[in-house]
Amino acid sequence: MYVYILVMLTKRTNILFSQDTWDQLTALAAKRKQSVGSVVRQAVIDRFNLKAEKKVKKTKVDNPLLELSRLAKKYKTPPLTAKEIKAYINAGRK
């Protein structure tokens, strides 16, 4: 069994496209079964020869629940309360 660890995206931007460009992007994203954001991020990485972060780290484990528990202890990540989650969301909107 494998555990997938995701790299969190933390920066946001707004980009305006013409309707024609948007239609082409959404068609390309649908064809690739990706989001438009994912297609745009990959295009920026490719165009400017940026070093891409690995978005998913795949680790083979025998017991996924024990592995997740071990990772939580390693990174000292206690569960978030609803109030904390709301604060993170609002901070990200600024």
For 34-56, the pLDDT digits (tens) are 999 989 988 998 999 888 766 55
What is the Cα–Cα distance from 81 to 27, expressed in whole angstroms? 39
* Average pLDDT of the residues in 26-38: 94
Considering its fold, how many domains does the chain have in total?
1
Q: Which residue has the higher pLDDT, 29 or 76?
A: 29
pLDDT, averaged across the chain: 79
The separation between the first and the last C-alpha atoms of the chain, rounded to the nearest angstrom, is: 39
Residue span of the structural domain in which 14 resides: 2-92
19 confidence band (pLDDT: 50, 70, 90)? very high
Tokens 């438009």 locate to 36
